[in-house]
Amino acid sequence: MRVLIVEDEDAIAEPLAEGLVREGFDVSRVATGEQALDAPEPDLFLLDLRLPEMDGYTVCRRLRERSDTPIIMITAKGEEIDRVLGLELGADDYLVKPFGFRELVARIRAVSRRASTVRGDGRTLRVGSLEVDRRTHQVLLAGREVALTPREFDLLALLAEDPGAVVTRQRLLDEIWDTNWYGPTKVIDVVVASLRKKLGPGWIETVRGIGYRLRLVE
């Protein structure tokens, strides 16, 4: 997932970028509003309000005029009117300095899940460049069709319902293999391994001792 940090203070932006890279994000950084508007479109903006020449409110408004890319505003301002204005201009969330890094990561993932759209009749799930169509049992990755077995499709569709959320092994067994399955749980690992080969690295993450989750990657 590509995150663009829009922050002019090195002391804030550099450790923030380093931490997000450790979490698996693809991070870029610019220091001004104009640079943010000229930069390649990321998957999410982390936008500081106190910027030189063009404030974050103006940047947010101009981004919203051309794009639905998620925006999280980051600022030292904590007044309600500031938060309301930011949200009315189109920000998806608002974080007041100082904030905990884990909270920021949680908010990024939550906003990204909300931005993963369910389109049409509610049967097509779109997660970044991945599309899962329940009606046709068709999967597209960056516009290219990926041939899946019925089990692979069902597992991927379940993960795609809530990207970033962990789906337990027990739930996978209950919903895909049905509650009467008494075979080895290794069947899940076999299907996941096959899916990873077909989708490529990074999409399906193992949460040790719990289950799996679908990551937003490009």
Predicted confidence at residue 117, as pLDDT, reads 47
Predicted confidence at residue 91, as pLDDT, reads 86
With CA atoms as reference, report the closest residue to 47 among 64, 38, 35, 60: 60
Predicted confidence at residue 29, as pLDDT, reads 95
Task: Quote the CA–CA distance of 214 and 144 in Å, as a whole number.
Answer: 19
- pLDDT tens over the chain, length 218 residues: 789 999 998 988 999 999 999 888 889 999 999 999 999 989 899 999 888 889 889 999 999 888 878 899 988 766 667 777 777 788 888 888 878 888 898 888 877 766 654 444 457 888 888 999 888 889 999 889 999 988 899 999 999 988 888 888 888 888 887 555 555 567 888 899 999 999 998 899 998 888 999 987 65
Class of domain 2-115: alpha beta
Sign (positive or negative) of CA dihedral 113, 116, 118, 123: negative
Predicted confidence at residue 118, as pLDDT, reads 40
* Contact by Cβ (8 Å): 53, 81: no
Predicted confidence at residue 116, as pLDDT, reads 57
* Contact by Cβ (8 Å): 83, 92: no
Question: In sequence order, what are the beta bridge partners of 73?
Answer: 47, 94
- With respect to CATH, is domain 118-214 assigned 3.20.20.70? no
* Contact by Cβ (8 Å): 38, 82: no
Task: Quote the CA–CA distance of 127 and 115 in Å, as a whole number.
Answer: 9
| Residue type for position 120 | G
Predicted confidence at residue 52, as pLDDT, reads 86
State pTM to two decimals.
0.56
3-state secondary structure of 158: helix
Half-sphere exposure of 125 (CA within 13 A, CB side): 19
Task: Quote the CA–CA distance of 108 and 185 in Å, as a whole number.
Answer: 32
- Three-state secondary structure of 177-211: CCCCCCCCCHHHHHHHHHHHHHHCCCCEEEECCCE
Phi and psi torsions of 208, nearest 5°: -55, 130
Q: Locate the domains of the chain by residue range.
A: 2-115, 118-214
CB count within 10 Å of CB 45 equals 26
Predicted confidence at residue 192, as pLDDT, reads 94
Predicted confidence at residue 176, as pLDDT, reads 82
